[in-house]
Structure formats: structure tokens, C-alpha cells
């Protein structure tokens, strides 16, 4: 489940022109299911209004300490919060946080809060690089505050440099990651492969498949949401997919490169989920020059390495990963073929999907899968989004890890 669901997040907004982007962040957090209490500094109120935030979050947006009906509002806001996010955080607010000043509702709340704190600095010119700001950042980092960004780019003054606030979508990713760290997969390392491989024929052509990569990326996000450390090994995807925040991504092209990356990571991982569509064949010879169209070429193929078989062999030697999940994309005899792969590849579970169905499989956002486990256990899941399939698969992975630990 989305780790932001039902979380209480205090969003502090200080006086930067980037405050308008904080409205988008407040909206995104609310849409993700969080209860967002916004505090605006006096400076922020010059750029944006409390009404905008109250409208977007459906909750009162707080401003002056003295306007509040509850005299301990700062303690109340900070105490019950799961996370405090300050975005944008000006150089001035940053300095106050570093020295523990508490002269407005935002800084008072920060001092009273005992939850994790994320800060997204936004400032102009050389202010970010100034030794005073750098020292303040260092102090905050040592205190466990997570600093997000800033990004390089054009600033309001027209100068280009380091100081732009991260985009709301990126901040949301970090907030989601920070909210998930105590999940049931905390301390576990999950490797996910995604996308298709490309097997070169000559400098311009390759053999590949229709994998979109979406199911693999959804699995990586679901594993992160449960607190795991995630390595994502990515081949070709139909369209560019943004890496889930927190995932360590390795890009590969060929089956051989994927084998190398997956075997290396699996050696120390707890879980491997092979969602990638690995090419089974590759051209025996890669031509150094483009094949001309004159005579029809005869292309001889050879088998690629079966990565899951190699993982099974390595697993017998090193005892890792504890759980290995495969996928079976079938256009006929779904359960029979999947059962065969489960046994042949020594898997803990296989996710079988019928790629002949129009609403499931490669190009679409939905999938209809069956989960097969050793001992003839089969679970048929209804048509779901790829994110829901990923959550269902990861829920079984948590159970499988517990079984391994208990045996």
C-alpha cells in the first residue's frame, strides 16, 4: 500500500518565489492520501496565500503563531506529525533551523517536532554556496535532517547556479521513501529486473521484444514502499520510465549484460524478482558494419544464457537470494508452462500472465496474473493495475521471506 496513506505531514513553506510550487506539492501529498497541515511563514504569505493551501489540502493552513486559537498549536502540529517537510526552505529559515531559533510558527514547530525532517532549500545566487549556508546544512545533516537538492538551473534573478528547489514530484518521491523505511522489508535488499534486452545484429539493428518495463518498475516501487533497499536492473523500455525514488538503477542492453548485473547483485541480495523479458536468442555474429540490403542475409542465432538457471546454481553455492521470483509470459498453456518453469528454474514463486489477452501483459497498464508456488499452490488474481499486481507479489514475498527465516 502507498506509504503516504493516512500519514500526517506538516509542510512548512518559507518566503521564496518557489512557494508557488509548494502548492503543487501540498496537492500531490493530499492526492497521495496524506493529511497535510501547512504552515506559512510571513515571507511565504507574500508569495502565496493560506487560502490556496487550505483549498488544496482541505485543512486549515496555519500562519501567525498569534492568530491561532490554540495557544500550543506549534507543539500540537509538530508532536502528532509523521514527517515535517520544509519546502521551499530559504537561507534564512535554514539558518534558524541550524541554530534552533523559534521566532515564528514554522521554526517553533520544527523545534518542537520529534519526527523525521526533510528540507528542500531554495535560494538565489551564491547564497547556497556561501560557507555560512554550507555550515548550516552540515549542522542539520549531522542532526539527521535530510536535505533534498537543491537543483542546478536558472533562478528568479536570472542567474544560473545551484539553488533551485527540487520539483514537487521529486520531493514527493523523497517523502514517499522517507515514509516507508520502517516497513516489513526494512533491512532487506531486493533486486528487480525490468524491460527487454536488445541483442545486436549490426551497428544499427537488434533483436528485441515488446516489453514496456512497467511491471518491473511497479515491483521496484512496491518493494521500496515496504521499506526495502532496491536495485533495479533495466533493459529497454517502450517509453522512458522515471526511476522510483530510492532505487539504485543499472542500465543494460544485452542478455549477457543483464546476467552479469543480476548475478553480481543477487550474490548479496535477499530477494530477486526477474520481471525482465530476456531475449532467448541472439545473432551468433555481430557484424562490424551495417548489413547492406543487396542479398537477403541468413541470420544464425544462438541461445543466450538463462539467467534464472544461473541464479539457481549460484544460490546453491552462496545461499542467496533467499527468495527468487520469476515471470512466465505465455500465449498458450499458461499454467502448465508456468509450473514447468517454476520447477525447472528452482523458483520460490512464479507470476504467470497470459500475453494473448488484450487487457493484460506487455503494452497495457493492467495485468491479470496467477501466482504459482511449489507444492501445486495456485492463486488466480483478478484484472488489476500493474501497481496492484506488484503489491500482491510483494505481499507474498514478505510471507516467503518469513517462511525461509522460520525454517
User: Which residues in this chain contact ligand CTP in the complex, by CB under 6 A?
Assistant: 255, 274, 276, 278, 280, 304, 306-308, 326-329, 341
> What's phi and psi for 166, nearest 5 deg?
-55, 155
Give min distance, CB of 304 to ligand CTP, in A. 5
Among 209, 337, 353, 367, the active-site one is: 209
Residue 386 known to bind ligand:
no
Residue 341 known to bind ligand:
yes
Residue 345 known to bind ligand:
yes
CB atoms inside a 10 Å sphere around CB 350: 26
Q: Is-catalytic flag, 209?
A: yes
Q: Which residue is nearest to ligand CTP (CB)?
A: 307
Residue 280 known to bind ligand:
yes
**And the C-alpha cell for 135?**
555550515
Residue 53 known to bind ligand:
no
Give min distance, CB of 193 to ligand CTP, in A. 6
323-330 and 349-354 strand pairing? parallel
Give min distance, CB of 375 to ligand CTP, in A. 20
- What distance in Å separates the CA atoms of residue 333 and residue 283, rounded to the nearest whole number? 28
Cβ distance to ligand CTP smaller for residue 59 or 341: 341
Cβ distance to ligand CTP smaller for residue 187 or 374: 374
Which of these, 113, 280, 263, lies nearest to 209 by C-alpha position? 280
Give min distance, CB of 252 to ligand CTP, in A. 13
By the 10 Å C-beta count (0-12 exposed, 13-18 middle, 19+ buried), 63 is classed as buried
Q: Are 3 and 33 in contact (CB under 8 A)?
A: no
Binding residues, by number, are 280, 290, 327, 341, 345
Binding residues for CTP, by number, are 280, 290, 327, 341, 345
Residues marked active site are found at: 209
Amino acid at each position: 500500500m502507498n506509504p503516504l496513506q493516512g500519514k500526517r505531514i506538516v509542510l512548512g513553506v518559507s518566503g521564496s518565489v518557489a512557494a508557488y510550487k509548494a502548492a503543487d506539492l501540498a496537492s500531490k501529498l493530499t492526492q497521495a492520501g496524506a493529511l497535510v497541515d501547512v504552515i506559512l511563514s510571513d515571507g511565504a504569505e507574500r508569495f502565496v496565500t493560506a487560502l490556496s493551501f487550505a483549498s488544496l489540502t482541505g485543512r486549515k493552513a496555519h500562519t501567525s503563531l498569534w492568530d491561532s486559537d490554540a495557544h500550543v498549536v506549534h507543539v500540537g502540529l509538530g508532536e502528532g506529525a509523521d514527517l515535517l517537510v520544509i519546502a521551499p526552505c530559504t537561507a534564512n529559515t535554514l539558518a534558524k533551523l541550524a541554530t534552533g531559533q523559534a521566532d515564528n510558527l514554522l521554526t517553533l514547530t520544527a523545534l518542537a517536532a520529534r519526527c523525521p525532517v526533510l528540507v528542500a532549500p531554495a535560494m538565489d545566487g551564491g547564497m547556497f554556496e556561501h560557507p555560512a549556508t554550507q555550515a548550516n546544512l552540515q549542522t542539520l545533516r549531522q542532526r539527521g535532517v535530510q536535505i533534498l537538492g537543491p537543483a542546478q538551473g536558472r533562478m528568479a534573478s536570472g542567474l544560473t547556479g545551484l539553488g533551485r528547489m527540487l520539483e514537487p514530484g521529486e520531493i514527493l518521491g523523497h517523502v514517499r521513501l522517507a515514509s516507508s523505511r520502517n516497513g516489513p522489508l526494512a533491512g532487506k535488499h531486493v533486486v528487480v529486473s525490468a524491460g527487454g534486452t536488445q541483442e545486436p545484429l549490426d551497428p544499427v539493428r537488434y533483436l528485441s521484444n515488446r516489453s514496456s518495463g512497467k511491471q518491473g518498475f511497479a515491483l521496484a516501487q512496491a518493494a521500496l514502499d515496504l521499506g526495502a533497499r532496491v536495485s533495479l536492473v533495466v533493459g529497454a523500455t517502450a517509453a522512458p520510465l522515471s526511476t522510483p525514488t530510492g532505487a539504485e538503477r543499472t542500465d543494460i542492453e544485452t542478455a549477457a549484460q543483464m546476467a552479469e548485473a543480476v548475478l553480481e547483485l543477487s550474490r548479496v541480495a535477499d530477494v530477486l524478482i526477474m520481471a525482465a523479458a530476456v531475449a532467448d536468442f541472439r545473432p551468433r555474429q555481430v557484424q562490424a558494419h551495417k548489413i547492406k540490403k543487396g542479398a537477403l542475409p541468413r541470420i544464425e542465432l544462438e541461445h543466450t544464457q538463462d539467467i534464472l538457471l544461473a541464479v539457481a546454481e549460484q544460490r546453491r553455492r552462496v545461499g542467496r537470494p533467499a527468495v527468487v521470483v520469476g515471470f512466465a509470459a505465455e500465449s498458450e498453456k499458461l499454467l502448465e508452462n508456468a509450473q514447468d518453469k517454476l520447477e525447472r528454474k528452482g523458483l520460490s514463486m512464479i507470476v504467470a500472465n497470459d500475453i494473448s489477452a488484450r487487457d493484460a501483459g506487455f503494452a497495457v497498464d493492467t495485468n491479470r496474473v496467477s501466482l504459482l508456488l511449489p507444492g501445486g499452490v495456485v492463486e488466480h488474481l483478478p484484472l488489476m493495475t500493474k501497481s496492484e499486481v506488484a503489491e500482491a507479489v510483494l505481499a507474498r514475498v514478505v510471507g516467503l521471506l518469513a517462511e525461509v527465516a522460520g525454517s
